[in-house]
Amino acid sequence: MALYVAAAMHDYDHPGRTNAFLVATSAPQAVLYNDRSVLENHHAASAWNLFMSHPEYNFLVNLDHVEFKRFRFLVIEAILATDLKKHFDFLAEFNAKVGDDPSTGIDWSNENDRLLVCQMCIKLADINGPPAGDEESSLGLPVSPFMDRAAPQLAKLQESFITHIVGPLCNSYDSASLVPGRWVEPDPEEEEHENVESEEGEDDESTCSEASQKAAPKKRRRVFCHITQHLVENHEMWKKVIEEENKKNDQAAESVHLNNVAEPILAIDEEEEESGSREEQVEGEHPEEEVEDPDWCQREDCKPPGEPEDRDPQ
């Protein structure tokens, strides 16, 4: 019941901004909660304030004081666990509980262990965050990763989020056999191969102490879960999208490079430039001389200068 209520409350009155943004801009919520799990504290406090302000909707009226106090504690702890800043701390603690060591494991009679499972469960259901890139840009703040509207990176965001956040969290939950699914029957060939290896190991360690000669603990049974299967397929799909986008970007960059290739600019020495200008000046003087000498071409019987005149044969 506490987990259901926490799931309903965990994002109540969300301002659409991250904790980092609220702290960087000294938002009222950040000042109120001393920059610590700002959004999570705000969600819990606002939701409880709404719930307590309408007694007619109080479905916890039958709980006594101790039960209500415990219920409220569980709800608040579950909501505060959704702060991603503490994500890896929860993951490390949970992994220590669900390792292959048979001496460890979840003690369902322990209240702290049950609370940890609830916190991991709501984290799996949460893992979401609204963008604030537009306002960050308008305020002159660095735009958060994957929040730049001008350069959307949906595929990279999904792939990175699955790789670093969702995947490890889901694997840990799967290792604890807490995911819904069905048991996977072991492969007889794999079991036979493992038995052969274990027998060879026992022969090699015949001189070891009795403690080391004890059989190794059996591996946990595998569980097939549609959720984890879809997660794997989703991850592979986004990886393919990234590969296709990279190919398109490379082709576009190559075409732009080819279009912008220009002929090399040759350096011109001062001597060559001066000689070239003199040649142009000399070539420009010839037509002027021809135009300014019209005497010999104005008469019908004129001859070009230097050409001998025709003599009468008589």
Q: pLDDT tens for residues 270-312?
A: 555 555 555 555 555 555 445 455 554 555 555 555 555 555 5
Q: Do residues 171 and 42 both lie within one domain?
A: no
Would you state the pLDDT for residue 24? 92
User: What does the mean pLDDT of the chain come to?
Assistant: 74
Q: Do residues 131 and 169 both lie within one domain?
A: no
Residue 205 lies in a domain: no
Residue 188 lies in a domain: no
Q: Do residues 157 and 142 both lie within one domain?
A: no
Would you state the pLDDT for residue 313? 47
Q: Do residues 37 and 166 both lie within one domain?
A: no
Q: Is 293 annotated as a binding residue?
A: no
Q: Do residues 17 and 72 both lie within one domain?
A: yes
Q: Do residues 19 and 136 both lie within one domain?
A: yes
Residue 307 lies in a domain: no
Q: pLDDT tens for residues 91-111?
A: 888 888 876 665 677 888 888
- Per-residue CA distances from 156 to 69, 146, 216 (Å): 43, 8, 41
Q: Do residues 131 and 42 both lie within one domain?
A: yes
Q: Do residues 136 and 53 both lie within one domain?
A: yes
Residue 292 lies in a domain: no
Q: Is 126 annotated as a binding residue?
A: yes
Q: Is 14 annotated as a binding residue?
A: no
CATH code of the domain containing 81: 1.10.1300.10
Domain of 169? 153-183+221-250
Q: CB-based contacts of 296: which residues, under 8 Å, 6+ apart? A: 302, 303, 304, 305
Cβ–Cβ under 8 Å, residues 131 and 147 = yes
Q: Do residues 11 and 125 both lie within one domain?
A: yes
Q: Do residues 142 and 165 both lie within one domain?
A: no
Cβ–Cβ under 8 Å, residues 7 and 125 = yes
Per-residue pLDDT of the chain (314 residues; tens, 9 = 90+): 999 999 999 889 998 888 999 999 999 999 999 999 999 999 999 999 999 999 898 999 999 999 999 999 999 999 999 998 888 888 888 888 876 665 677 888 888 888 988 888 888 777 644 345 666 667 777 766 656 666 667 777 778 778 877 788 777 777 777 777 777 776 666 655 555 555 555 555 554 444 444 444 555 667 777 778 888 888 888 888 888 888 888 888 777 766 665 555 555 555 555 555 555 555 555 554 454 555 545 555 555 555 555 555 44
Per the structure, the count of domains in the chain is 2
Residue 191 lies in a domain: no
Q: Do residues 70 and 130 both lie within one domain?
A: yes
Q: Do residues 117 and 2 both lie within one domain?
A: yes
